[in-house]
Structure 1
Amino acid sequence: MPRRREALPLSEHYGDLVRVALMEVRPAGLRTRQLIIATRLTKSQVGRGIRHLRDVGAAEHLTPNIWRRRDGYMFSEDPADRVEYEKKLFRLILGRLTRMITGTLDPHMARYPDDEWAQLASAQLTGVRATLAQLTK
């Protein structure tokens, strides 16, 4: 009886297809629509492939994929490209954290000023916020 072949997890398969498509156009990039056409995957499958690539690429010390508005997803060897992308991610996280603090934690503190947990969270997040602000410069 023939031995049954193990199937790749779908995200790994999608990641492989996305990686091959990006490697073929390197150093240029592909926008999501172009990746959909090149890989014949759906938009959500391309997204899963990108996320898998980021997880596996980081783990295997591969060239990280970045995203730029004008180029889409791409592999870049240029450290300036990676720094620019990382700063964008830090700005995104800083914005979300700031909205969480001003929209949730500050009203909590105003209503319950003696709440130990809220004071601890506020003190810790103030430091994180300052660090993220420095990293975005």
Structure 2
Amino acid sequence: MPLRSKRPARPREARPLSEHYGDLVRVALMEARPAGLHTYQLMVATLLTRSQVARGVRHLRDVGAAEHLTPIIWRRKDGYMFSEDPADWIEYEKKQLAQILGRLTRMITGTLDPHLARYPDDEWAQLVTDQLTGVRSTLAQLSKPSRS
């Protein structure tokens, strides 16, 4: 029986899984540049599951893109990609703002408006409506398509 060293084992420092997934997704997208990759292509390239790819993309958006100074965008025809063109970034940002505007509008018309209709003196509903009216207006302005 071999003798074991009496030296204590060093604790392993594990990286968060999302960081590891983000690294794999980033490398796959960098290798595909200037093209993009759809989710299923990222799954094949990284050997990750769909949910792991999603976690990797979220990590890239939260941390990785800021560190590498290139935003990750998504387009229906190209999938996820790193683009060097600011016009691509603006197009993606406007589409994201339009989605947020849609969700906010549905919340206002489907929840807040009926709330105020039943309880017009409710301070909470009045406050939220007043605040979100400005947000809604700003999002509508920011998400307008560019004039070309």
User: Does the pair score TM above 0.5?
Assistant: yes
Count of paired positions: 137
Separation (CA, whole Å) in 2 of partners of 1:125 and 1:65: 29
Partner of residue 5 from structure 1, selected from 6, 12, 36: 12
Separation (CA, whole Å) in 2 of partners of 1:64 and 1:57: 9
Q: Deviations over 1:92-129 (max 9, x none)?
A: 00000000000000000000001111111101100000
Counterparts of residues 1-137 of structure 1 (less than 5 Å): 1=7, 2-60=9-67, 62-137=69-144
**Aligned match of 2:3:** none
- The letter for the 2-side match of 1:95 is G
Larger Rg: 2
Structure 1 gap segments, 5+ residues each: none
CA displacement at 1:61 relative to structure 2? 5.5
CA displacement at 1:77 relative to structure 2? 0.8
- The letter for the 2-side match of 1:117 is W
CA contact (8 A) 2:33 2:82 kept: yes
After superposing the two structures, state which structure 1 stretch, 54-63 or 36-45, moved more: 54-63
Identity of aligned residues (%): 80
Separation (CA, whole Å) in 2 of partners of 1:97 and 1:4: 47
Structure 2 gap segments, 5+ residues each: 1-6
- The letter for the 1-side match of 2:72 is N
The Cα RMSD (Å) is 1.1
Separation (CA, whole Å) in 2 of partners of 1:30 and 1:120: 44
- Structure 1 residues 34 and 58 mapped into 2: Cα distance closer, same or farther (>3 Å)? closer
Corresponding residue SS for 1:73:
strand
- The letter for the 2-side match of 1:43 is R
When normalised by structure 1's length, the TM-score is 0.96
